[in-house]
Amino acid sequence: MTINLTVENQGDRLDIWLSNQLTDISRSRIQKLIEQGNITLNNEVCPNKKIKLKIGDRLQVNIPEPQPLELQPEPIPLDILYEDEQLIIINKSANLVVHPAPGHETGTLVHALLYHCSNLAGIGGGQRPGIVHRLDKDTTGAIVVAKTDFAHQNLQFQIKNRTAKREYLGIIYGVLNNKEDENNRDKGMINLPIGRHPVDRKRMAVVPREKPGREAVTYWEIIERLGYYSLVKFILETGRTHQIRVHSSYFGNPIVGDPLYSNNRSLKMNLSGQALHAHKLTLTHPITSEKIEAIAPLPDEFIKLLNYLRQKQ
């Protein structure tokens, strides 16, 4: 399919202008079309998404036929919290990788979704169809997946602009302490940039912005003290890789069972991973604008750990 466009008003950079004109196509897909040479500007291929457009510029957008996914659907059971024609919200189990990656070419959430949703192919990208945001492999709980290109673009916008609310429950070592507010020490905000660890490339770390670190903001509140442990509610304002895990460990309060950031601390319980659960996801429906609140019940292992720590006090 070919779309011809003419810039009639003062233009913005190429990818932004196109995303405003072609509202049924996500910006990430438009950027991919640019990279692949599918956009011509004044009869010349334009591979630069940042080029500024001028009044009178003529654009041709070539949208190739969707290529069949190499991924094969797999009949992996899904715990569905909400579903309609636009989106699906899953209560992700532990030890389930969200999308294919080196070492995890099969058995991912994406493979399960392709089996469950026949029209998911091509939404948002070849290896990550429909994926709006991620959860770490061993982090459980609510994750939303788009089933149409419009929903994918809309939900990504909500995540980026922080209108979608993501609330987690985690069990940490020790007690977080808001030293800046003597009257309210049990809740606070962590605003520390996060980037790749300078030595261990598998880990993230709090690093200066010039390293470079990206803005990372986490709100926290202690829900229950459990002796030397605490049950904490975390609310993400940003969504950096391992954000809650990095912010907690930075203050010496890593998530219990975290294989990367807990410094080999252990309990007498065998845990499958970090005790971190995406408990509540609140967003606006892309079509109806209604508020959707999905609550993922705590997994059995999390409940077992809570009961163990309560009895241990």
pLDDT in tens, 204-237: 999 887 767 889 999 999 999 999 999 999 999 9
Which tokens is 165 given? 């609310």
Omega before residue 193 within 30° of 0, cis: no
pLDDT in tens, 235-249: 999 989 999 999 999
**Cα angle: 308, vertex 312, 313; to 5 degrees:** 130
CA gap 211, 229 in Å, rounded? 33
Residue 124 has pLDDT above 70, yes or no: no
Q: Which residues pair with 62 in a beta bridge?
A: 2
Burial class of residue 37, CB neighbours in 10 A (0-12, 13-18, 19+)? exposed
* pLDDT of 183: 79
* pLDDT of 125: 61
pLDDT band at 129 (very low <50, low <70, confident <90, very high): confident
Pairing of strands 276-284, 140-146: parallel
CA gap 105, 127 in Å, rounded? 10
Q: CATH for 164-280+285-309, among 3.40.630.10, 3.30.2350.10, 3.40.50.880, 3.40.50.720?
A: 3.30.2350.10
* pLDDT of 126: 66
Establish whether domains 1-60 and 164-280+285-309 are of one fold: no
* pLDDT of 293: 98
More confident residue, 22 or 301: 301
Residue reference for tokens 């930075």: 250
Strongest mean pLDDT among 8-12, 29-33, 138-142, 309-313:
138-142
Tell me what the mean pLDDT of segment 53-58 comes to. Answer: 90
CA gap 165, 171 in Å, rounded? 20
* pLDDT of 128: 80
Of 171, 190, 164, 159, residue with least CA distance to 231: 171
CA gap 30, 292 in Å, rounded? 28
Residue 53 has pLDDT above 80, yes or no: yes
Percent of the chain with pLDDT over 90: 60
Residue 67 has pLDDT above 70, yes or no: no
Burial class of residue 23, CB neighbours in 10 A (0-12, 13-18, 19+)? exposed
* pLDDT of 196: 83
Marked catalytic residue, from 15, 136, 138, 258: 136
Q: Which residues pair with 170 in a beta bridge?
A: 232, 276
Burial class of residue 246, CB neighbours in 10 A (0-12, 13-18, 19+)? buried
Strongest mean pLDDT among 17-21, 175-179, 304-308:
304-308
pLDDT band at 66 (very low <50, low <70, confident <90, very high): low
CA gap 77, 92 in Å, rounded? 10
pLDDT in tens, 141-159: 999 999 998 999 999 999 9
Per-domain residue ranges of the chain = 1-60, 78-161, 164-280+285-309
Q: What residue type is 278 in one-letter code?
A: A
Specify whether the CB–CB gap between 155 and 149 falls below 8 A. Answer: no
Backbone Cα Rg of the chain: 22
Of 231, 122, 217, 228, residue with least CA distance to 169: 231
Residue 87 has pLDDT above 90, yes or no: yes
More confident residue, 153 or 120: 153
Q: What is the CATH number of domain 78-161?
A: 3.30.2350.10
pLDDT band at 20 (very low <50, low <70, confident <90, very high): confident
Mean per-residue pLDDT of the chain:
89
Specify whether the CB–CB gap between 273 and 215 falls below 8 A. Answer: no
**Cα angle: 277, vertex 107, 116; to 5 degrees:** 85
Of 185, 278, 289, residue with least CA distance to 239: 278
CA gap 62, 40 in Å, rounded? 8
Residue reference for tokens 């169809």: 129
Which tokens is 104 given? 């995890």
CATH architecture of the domain covering 1-60: Roll (3.10)
Q: What residue type is 243 in one-letter code?
A: Q
More confident residue, 102 or 48: 48
Task: Clarify whether 57 is annotated catalytic.
Answer: no
